[in-house]
Amino acid sequence: MRDDPEGFRIAVHKGWQRHARNGKGQVRYTKGDFTLIVVPGRDTAKRFGSDPMAYQQDKEAELAPFRDASWTSTSGLRRTDVGRTSMAEGTFTWGEDSDAATYARNLALLDGGRYHLVLVIGPDRERAQVDRCYEQASTSFRP
């Protein structure tokens, strides 16, 4: 478990390198071809609406490469509401063709009027590793 200086807690595999918060409000952890992106509360429901599924699919900046790609697929899209917290999860694949595709698992969590994101990205051929990293990060994330 890591208590990140940007105000969240998350489990990250040992050996992953943390990068300082960038101009897009992202905290990145990387190892090889894999990236874990956490965006702690950058976007608001006031600006982007209170439906995390619509936010994830249509507005989330981190998924712009998916929306812009010539080849895409999605699966496992679901919304969960627990008390006053709403979440949307999904699996996204994109690229110029299926041979060089990027695979991502994404969580958009709306809590206290702010969106928090957990996104794990890697090569499509390494889906199992992306899934493992995502499960660990998304289930442990606390704003």
In a domain, 39, yes or no: no
In a domain, 34, yes or no: no
- Whether the per-residue pLDDT at 23 is higher than 70: the answer is yes
Is the whole-model pTM more than 0.85? yes
The answer to whether 125 and 33 are in contact (CB under 8 A) is no
In a domain, 26, yes or no: no
pLDDT of 98 = 64
In a domain, 77, yes or no: yes
- Whether the per-residue pLDDT at 22 is higher than 70: the answer is yes
pLDDT-derived band at 56, boundaries 50, 70, 90 = very high
Sheet harboring 27-31: ordered strands across?
17-19, 27-31, 34-44, 114-123, 102-111, 85-95, 71-82
Residue-number span of the structural domain to which 105 is assigned = 51-115+125-140
In a domain, 134, yes or no: yes
* Least-confidence region, from 1-15, 55-69, 85-99, 126-140: 85-99
**Mean pLDDT over residues 126-130, rounded?**
97
pLDDT of 70 = 85
Domains contained in the chain, number: 1
pLDDT of 100 = 81
pLDDT single digits (tens) 65-120: 999 998 899 999 999 999 989 999 999 999 876 678 999 999 999 999 999 999 99
In a domain, 133, yes or no: yes
